[in-house]
Structure 1
Amino acid sequence: MLLTKFTHSCVRFEKAGAVLVIDPGTFSEVEEALEGADTVLITHVHPDHCDVDRVGAALDAAPGVDVHAPAAVVEALADRVTDTGRLHAVTADTEFTAGPFSVATYGGQHALIHPLIPTVDNVGYVIDGAVFHPGDSFTVPHGLTVPTVLVPLHAPWSKTSEVIDFVVATRATRAFPIHEALLSDTGLQLVEHMVTEFSARYGTEFRHLPARESVELASD
């Protein structure tokens, strides 16, 4: 399975001729990531994870694409696509297939930004039992250890100690960064240095993955 990183939280998976994309948001190369896509998974409704205008336009241009996302995302996209039958609401603790990909969902709630800011639904996705995309949450999948975890490096809802604790808790073999668009180059280097150092102490290899770079991963 080929994983390609795009800016911020958008990643693309390719396997057996099928393409699955997670979180094509406003900071990401939406059209490039969605080219040839069969399935789109969205973790939550915030625009840096789902650019509803650009995603809606891409869906209308490619009528065979299915979307799985929390209900709030489905509602937002329903106003922008012609065929709403391709929009599927998902919740945590479910499983489904998307072409050759198996998908399991975890979490359920966005991390707290501030008590005065209401939380929204957030669904993390495990693809083929091999890769975990948590969206905006530090929820750890229960009942399994996922070999590869995508790590939200920086957000209004997190601090670096929590990022490190999340990686340690997953017990993953390897980790790649996501959710880093708000960091300067200097800030990114600093955070990645700390995450790399502490992850290694617990057996996880953290590796910087720039936008548009791909890696091959084993899958079920």
Structure 2
Amino acid sequence: MRLTKHGHSCIRLEKDGEVLVLDPGTFSDADAALSGADHLLITHEHPDHWDREAVAAFLGSHPDVGVLAPEPVAEALRGEVPAPERVRAVRGGERLSAGAFDLLTVGGQHALIHPQVPMVQNVGFVIDEDVYHPGDCLIVPDVVRVRTLLLPIHAPWNKIQEVIDFLIAVRAERALPIHDGLLAQNGRDVIEGHLARFGERYGTEYGTLADGEAVEL
């Protein structure tokens, strides 16, 4: 399986001639990520994970693409696309498939930003019991041991202690950075230094992944 990062939290997976895209948001190159996509997964409704205009335009010209998303996103999309039956609402704890990809959904709500900021639904996805994209939440999957953790390294809703503890708890073979669109390079260097050191101590190889870069899993 080939994994390509398209900015911030947007990931493109290619396997057996099929393409699955996660979280093409406004901080990402959504158009490049969606080109040729067969399946689309959206973790939650925040615009840095869901570029509503780009996604609606893509689905308008590609009605055969299937979409899995929490109910608020699914409901909004059904009113904007020519094939609303291809948009399915999901919640945590479901096992399902998207073409050649096996999926497990995780979680249910976004991490707390502030008590006065409304909470929204968030669904993470484990793909082929290998790649885990948690969206904006730090929930450890309880029924599978993932091999590749997509790690949100910086956000208004997390701190480095929580990111390190999540990295340790998941115990994946490798971790790759997502949710990094607000980071300057000096901040990234500090955060990734911690993650590399703790990852090595607890058996996870932390790797860098630049926008547009691909890796083979």
State the TM bucket, normalised to the shorter chain.
over 0.9
Aligned 8 A contact 1:52 1:80 in 2: no
Partner Cα separation in structure 1 for residue 155 and residue 185 of structure 2: 15
Aligned 8 A contact 1:151 1:178 in 2: yes
Name the counterpart of 1:26. Answer: 26
Name the counterpart of 1:173. Answer: 173
Q: TM-score, normalised by structure 1?
A: 0.97
Q: Deviations over 1:8-36 (max 9, x none)?
A: 00000000000000000000111100011
Partner Cα separation in structure 2 for residue 65 and residue 182 of structure 1: 30
Name the counterpart of 1:214. Answer: 214
Q: How much identity, in percent, do the aligned residues show?
A: 53
Name the counterpart of 2:64. Answer: 64
Aligned 8 A contact 2:105 2:126 in 1: yes
Alpha-carbon distance, 1:208 to partner:
0.6
Partner Cα separation in structure 2 for residue 208 and residue 13 of structure 1: 17
Alignment of 1:7-18 (within 5 A): 7-18=7-18
Q: Deviations over 1:66-123 (max 9, x none)?
A: 1000001012222322221111000000011111100000111100000111211100
Partner Cα separation in structure 2 for residue 153 and residue 38 of structure 1: 28
Work out whether 1:109 is the aligned partner of 2:124.
Answer: no
Alpha-carbon distance, 1:189 to partner:
1.4
Alignment of 1:146-161 (within 5 A): 146-161=146-161
SS at match of 2:122: strand
Structure 1 unaligned spans of 5+:
none
Name the counterpart of 1:136. Answer: 136
Structure 2 unaligned spans of 5+:
none
Aligned 8 A contact 1:7 1:28 in 2: yes
Matched positions, count? 217
The worse-fitting range, judged by mean Cα deviation, of 200-209 and 79-88 is 79-88
Q: TM-score, normalised by structure 2?
A: 0.98
Aligned 8 A contact 2:68 2:88 in 1: yes
SS at match of 1:143: coil
Name the counterpart of 1:40. Answer: 40
Q: Which amino acid aligns with 2:36?
A: G
SS at match of 1:108: coil
Partner Cα separation in structure 2 for residue 42 and residue 16 of structure 1: 22
